[in-house]
Amino acid sequence: MSGPSDPQAYISLETLVEDIVQAFKDALVNIDDIDDISEGENVGEYGAGTTAVWVVPGQGRATMSSTSSIKWQLQIYVILLSSEENAKLSDLRSKGYEIFDEYAKDYTRDGTCWAAFPRLFHPGYMLVDNLQYVGVLMQYEAVFYQKWINASS
């Protein structure tokens, strides 16, 4: 895993972001009754009765950390949704709490970031690809540092 563990090495932004997204996905493998873990690219293939979790990277904001590194704050959206005919919001909320608790076990997401702080937990209903879903939107802010390419030590 190429995380920010070596502050002297340059790691591309793409690698940093993709490793964090993958770590968020990997944490979900121990959660029961999830049919799909993706970034939402399979939505057209969902039928009635599908329970899915999307892990979607959002806006990143950079600030100077020092003369040789950038501090990034990246929004990660975790979207739990179910199109089960009898799905209840209370059931999805419980599954959302289970996901939240799983993420709380390792706030560094397997060392891919300095910390991933929860920012939002919002249960509700949504319409995706003409199917109504019961769901929970969670937002995390992953903080990590990136060394400048041309920075001299």
Q: How many domains does the structure of the chain reveal?
A: 1
For position 64, which CATH number holds?
Answer: 3.30.70.1700
- Asked whether residue 6 is domain-assigned, the answer is no
Q: How far is CA 111 from the centre of its chain?
A: 14
CA distance 22 to 20: 5
Q: What is the DSSP letter of 44?
A: G
pLDDT of residue 92: 92
Structural domain span for residue 134: 13-147
pLDDT tens for residues 20-76? Answer: 999 999 999 989 999 999 998 877 676 677 889 999 999 999 998 888 888 999 999
Looking at the domain assignment, is residue 68 inside a domain? yes
Does 141 map to a domain?
A: yes
pLDDT over 90 at 12, yes or no: no
Q: Quick check: is 153 in a domain?
A: no
On whether residue 5 sits in a domain, the answer given is no
Give residue 74's pLDDT: 95
- Exposed, middle or buried by CB within 10 Å (0-12, 13-18, 19+), for 31? middle
The whole-number pLDDT of residue 48 equals 72
What average pLDDT does the chain have? 86
Looking at residue 150, what is its pLDDT? Answer: 63
In the prediction, which pLDDT does 2 show? 43
Alpha-carbon distances of 118 from 7, 22, 115, 123, 139, rounded to whole Å: 25, 17, 10, 15, 6
Supply the pTM of this predicted model.
0.85
Residues of the chain with pLDDT > 70, as a percent, come to 90
Q: Within 13 Å, how many C-alpha atoms sit on residue 47's CB side?
A: 0
Q: Is residue 29 part of a domain?
A: yes
Q: Is 22 helix (H, G, I), strand (E, B) or coil?
A: helix
